[in-house]
Structure 1
Amino acid sequence: MATPFEKRRRRSLFLTLVLPAFAGAAALSLWAVTKTQVYAYAPSSLPAPAELGDREVRLAGLVQEGTLSISEDDLVVFTVTDGAASVPVTFEGILPALVAENEGIIAQGRLQPEGIFRAETVLARHDENYEAPEVTKALQEAAEKNADL
């Protein structure tokens, strides 16, 4: 049978090994979460480049009409607006098919010191009510037939 001194010694040994390991794991988890968080901003709430530093963020809004241009080498330039403010965006790559002027967009990247948002990823925003193009076309044709009657 273990004496009270041996029990206390085992307990203190357990606490000196387990508690620091647990605290280290918790600190590592919190650090990983803060490093992987990506904040989303509208153009009017986007902080200044100096405030963001080199942190990656998301920019959400509408592609401003008349600003979408795609060069032959897949350099895409457009402006994202929320009605109150606008931010110029550059992106190298192929845009998703749903990206169009006056449509919702989410761009993930970094705000450059000159105020241009350099996107690494571009996503098209759409509502959750998806309707296949064939269904939309069939409904439009049905509506046109009913209008002719």
Structure 2
Amino acid sequence: MRLARPRTRLLVVAVTALAAIGLLAASGLDDSLVYYRSPAEAASLSAADGRLRLGGLVQPGSVVRDGEAVRFVLTDGVADVDVVHLGDPPGVFQEGQGALVEGAFDNDGAFRSDLLIVKHSNTYEAAPEARP
């Protein structure tokens, strides 16, 4: 009977420690996860919904540089969202590639972005050498 008490205490301490570690891991992971909505999911949102992230493809033929802003359409094949990004886009930004924007809808229904992240392949291809 005396041997059962130390084992029980050890088991309680071990379960408590594992639960605490799991809780800390889950709370730390929550801060590092990035959730975004597709244009179809954002179709029903408005300026009242506040700041959010949208992800999709930059529709070919939609990119227009307007002073310090870049206008383009973000699509998922189901719905389209007009995006106005303030600032310079990344150097690899182009039509037809994936993009993630962060910002909010304005009262006109356009999405005002101040963060633009471009999805690109992980392979690097050097430019072909020029022949003299």
TM-score band, normalised by the shorter chain?
Answer: 0.5 to 0.7
Q: Which structure: larger Rg?
A: 1
Sort the Cα spacing of 1:83 and 1:9 in 2 relative to 1 into closer, same or farther, 3 A: closer
1:27 corresponds to which letter in structure 2? Answer: L
Instruction: Determine the structure 2 residue equivalent to 1:25.
Output: 21
Aligned length: 128
Q: Report the identity percentage.
A: 22
Q: Deviations over 1:20-67 (max 9, x none)?
A: 1211221232333344322455433546437xx557434121245244
Q: How far did residue 87 of structure 1 move?
A: 0.7
Q: Deviations over 1:62-114 (max 9, x none)?
A: 2452442242xx333322134442112233332122323x3313123245375
Scaled by the length of structure 1, the TM-score of the pair is 0.60
After superposition, residues 48-127 of structure 1 pair within 5 angstroms as: 48-49=44-45, 56-71=52-67, 74-100=68-94, 102-112=95-105, 114=107, 115-126=109-120
Question: Unaligned stretches of 5+ in structure 1?
Answer: 142-149
- Give the structure with the larger helix fraction: 1
Question: Unaligned stretches of 5+ in structure 2?
Answer: none
Inter-partner Cα distance in structure 1 for 2:45 and 2:24: 28
Indicate if the aligned counterparts of 2:63 and 2:70 stay in contact, CA closer than 8 A.
Answer: no
